[in-house]
Amino acid sequence: MVRALVVRMLMLHNNLIIISGGQTGADRAALDFAIEYGFLHAGWCPKSRLAEDGPLEEIYKLNETPSKRYEQRTEWNVKDSDGTVIFNLTKILTGGTLFTKLCAERKNKPYLVLSKETCQEPAQDLLAFIKEHKIQKINIAGPRGSKEPTIYDFVYNVLKMSLLS
């Protein structure tokens, strides 16, 4: 049993790259999870490493877009991934979170919305999405910390339950 768990974790670590834009909240939770548990991470952030809490630290290995527009970062992260998971606390998407969904639809990329309000088993839903779409580069998106203060914990815990259990 322990050997099977180790093999599964190594397979995930070797094959799954977490992509995110670096904003506070959902993005930062994904990047912090990746760093803490040894997953590769990548992605695009706005020029000057723009985030609502100041310039993004260098520990986050993200490339800067030519623009400070968050929309460009979002579009490029959707484009460069195999699929996008959009985390949200409610079932209604707004602002940049809704824009992420629209980008995935326009680029014909698979996406999954994991709403804390409506998903009964978000960790299982995430694993099924990764498996169904053969995801190797997964874009993690969702609201910023100032809009949804508890989104960080939701994202971090779902990633931990799905990718480490």
pLDDT of residue 154: 98
DSSP letter string, the chain: -HHHHHHHHHHHHHH-EEE----TTHHHHHHHHHHHHT-EEE-EE-GGG--TTSSPPTTS--EEPSSS-HHHHHHHHHHHSSEEEEEESSS---HHHHHHHHHHHHTT--EEEEETTT-S-HHHHHHHHHHHTT-SEEEEE---TTT-TTHHHHHHHHHHHHH--
For the chain, give every domain's residue range: 22-46+62-163
Res 6: pLDDT: 45
The pLDDT tens digits along the chain (165 residues) read 444 444 444 444 558 999 999 999 999 999 999 999 999 999 999 999 999 999 999 999 999 999 999 999 999 999 999 999 999 999 999 999 999 999 999 999 999 999 999 999 999 999 999 999 999 999 999 999 999 999 999 999 999 999 997
CATH class entry, domain 22-46+62-163: alpha beta
